[in-house]
Structure 1
Amino acid sequence: MAFEGFSQDLNSFFNKADAFFKENVANGKVAYSKIHANQNELNSILKIAEGITVSKADANNFQAFWINAYNLSVIKGIVNNYPTNSPLDNKGFFDATTYSLGGKQITLNDIEHKLLRGNFKDARFHFVLVCGAVGCPPLISKAYLPTTLNAQLEEQTKIALNGSFLRVNTKKNRVQASQIMEWYKEDFTRNGKREIDFINTFRTEKLDSKFKLSYFPYNWNLNKQ
């Protein structure tokens, strides 16, 4: 019976999160003002998330739960400080403010670095964890679900690396990448690969191996509608 209850709670979390993102996210932008005016739905989803326990051995459920929990908690953090121009305007936004999720009191940084990056060597996480800023990957208007997780990770990585995460100058053999690729270089250069190799795994128009890579500044302005 305990397993059934767990399963129902997790399914309820995914269903309600999916409906919430559909209602409040469009073109990667979040309706913070609208959510701020009525926080009941967000709070009820986070309340469900508080009581869920999911094992990292159950990788798809674990990853999908914590990706959604991260993205929802970022929205909660912005709403709690609304109006605000940037998550960085709020001290301790990522490393001190804690959320009650999955039976833990946990910060956003710990979700990202300990639970996700720490347990799974998958650089695609960087394209689905959305920090509330314009420079982040776009927040999708649906939940990440265990049954579709790999396809969603793949799709969002392809969108980013064929789009705004790169600025390509073919005449000068140069490419500028989002600072995410600088900050987490070790995630994109595993097994002796270079960043260009990682990029070309997901790009339609491949970059020549002689391209010089640099990084453009991160845009920390709020990703609001």
Structure 2
Amino acid sequence: MKRISRLFSRLALFSALAAGTLAYSGCGYVNYLIPLNPTSSKGRTLDHAAWDGLLKKYVDDQGMVNYKGVRQDSAALNSYLKTLSDNLPAKQASADEKLAFWLNAYNAFTVQRIIRSYPVKSIKELGGDKIFVNTVWDQDFIPLGGKRYTLNDIEHRIIRKQFDDNRIHYALVCAAMSCPRLRNEAYVGTRVQEQLADQGRDFINNSQKNDLSPANKPTLSAIYSFYPKDFAKNGSTSIQDAVNRYAKQKIDPNATLSYKEYDWSLNEQ
């Protein structure tokens, strides 16, 4: 009886510890399941020209960033971000205009977060290690429309919820070497579909990101393992199918997949 009593006591203690862990980390996670749709009734269409100019000036064709240069030009970046903060997408704006806004916002605020703490070797140095709780992506440093948001808010609660397009994972750049290249032009509503397709072709066919041979056992970017369900919907039936959408060298539809180790070192020139 004593052994049974001790067993139940240990089970109760384990349950309490597990509940405590969930209470600590679960709230942040559950938050990211709730969609957001920040808009403005007076919003205007932005041309994103200021961000476009910064990208052309400080990002090369491989998506590598001159963070020292951006830091010296931080007033221009901050001015653009203030424009975003004061001009949320209009409610009546097209889906493509809204998508371009949020892609630019995510990438531009990521760059700002880097230069605020520069020099750094990795963006992961800027926060804790509890995902959806205290990482750099959980810091509410982004002022938009009078409220504060996190990078995870923009990615998971806005972009992934509103725009059923797995190609957004080729456009959102987290300042790491294994990320897709930071495009050296701003996303614009009139061309965002074309730009996403170009990002997909560039990412999938980049041998540093994906090794598509042998066709029956390719080694892909870990991004596909991060979001497997995203790559099996909206026009794609599987990760393999999503890859073959833009791959020059096709992989087998039933290929056995493995994934590269993610390199979180800074994407710096």
Normalising by structure 1, we get a TM-score of 0.90
User: For residues 16-43 of structure 1, what are the alpha-carbon distances to aligned partners after superposition, in whole Å with 9 as ceiling and x for unaligned?
Assistant: 1111111111120111111223311111
Letter in 2 for 1:135: S
Pick the aligned partner of 1:125 from 168, 188, 191.
Answer: 168
Q: Deviations over 1:106-140 (max 9, x none)?
A: 10011011110011111000000000101100001
2:113 is aligned to 77
Question: Which residue identity does 1:139 align to in structure 2?
Answer: L
Q: Is 2:231 the counterpart of 1:222?
A: no
Identity across the alignment (%):
34
Number of residue pairs matched?
218
2:184 maps to what in 1? 141
Selected match of 1:36 from 71, 92, 98: 71
Provide the rounded CA distance (Å) in 2 between the counterparts of 1:213 and 1:63.
30
Larger mean Cα displacement after TM superposition, 94-103 or 144-153: 94-103
Distance across 2 between alignment mates of 1:84 and 1:135: 16
**Which among 169, 177, 181 is matched to residue 224 of structure 2?**
181
- Pick closer, same or farther for the CA change 1:197–1:131 going to 2, 3 Å: same
**Equivalent residue number for residue 7 of structure 1:** 44
The alpha carbon displacement at 1:102 in A equals 4.6
Please, which moves more after superposition, 156-165 or 81-90? 156-165
Structure 2 unaligned regions, length at least 5: 1-39, 128-134
- How has the CA–CA distance of structure 1 residues 181 and 169 changed in structure 2, closer, same or farther, with 3 Å as cutoff? same
1:168 & 1:132 partners in 2: Cα distance?
24
More relative contact order, 1 or 2 (CA 8 Å, 6+ apart) = 1
Q: Distance between the aligned counterparts of 1:38 and 1:7, measured in 2? A: 26
Measured after TM superposition, the shift of residue 96 of structure 1 is: 1.8
d(CA) in 1 for partners of 2:232, 2:93: 25
SS at match of 2:162: coil
Gaps of 5+ in 1: none
Alignment TM-score, normalising by the size of structure 2: 0.76
Q: Is the 8 A contact 1:157 1:202 kept in 2?
A: yes
- 2:213 touches 2:251 (CA, 8 Å); kept in 1? no
2:259 aligned counterpart, secondary structure: strand
Alpha-carbon displacement from aligned partner over 1:54-86 (angstroms, at most 9, x marks no partner): 138621111001100110000000001111000
Contact between 2:217 and 2:257, CA under 8 Å: does it hold in 1? yes
Q: Going by fraction, where is strand more abundant, 1 or 2?
A: 1
Equivalent runs, 1:1-225 vs 2, <5 Å: 6-7=43-44, 10-11=46-47, 14-26=48-60, 27-54=62-89, 55=91, 58-91=94-127, 92-163=135-206, 164-170=208-214, 173-190=216-233, 193-225=237-269
In 2 relative to 1, CA 102–207 (structure 1 residues): closer, same or farther, beyond 3 Å?
farther
**Which of 1 and 2 has greater Rg?**
2
RMSD in angstroms over aligned alpha carbons? 1.9
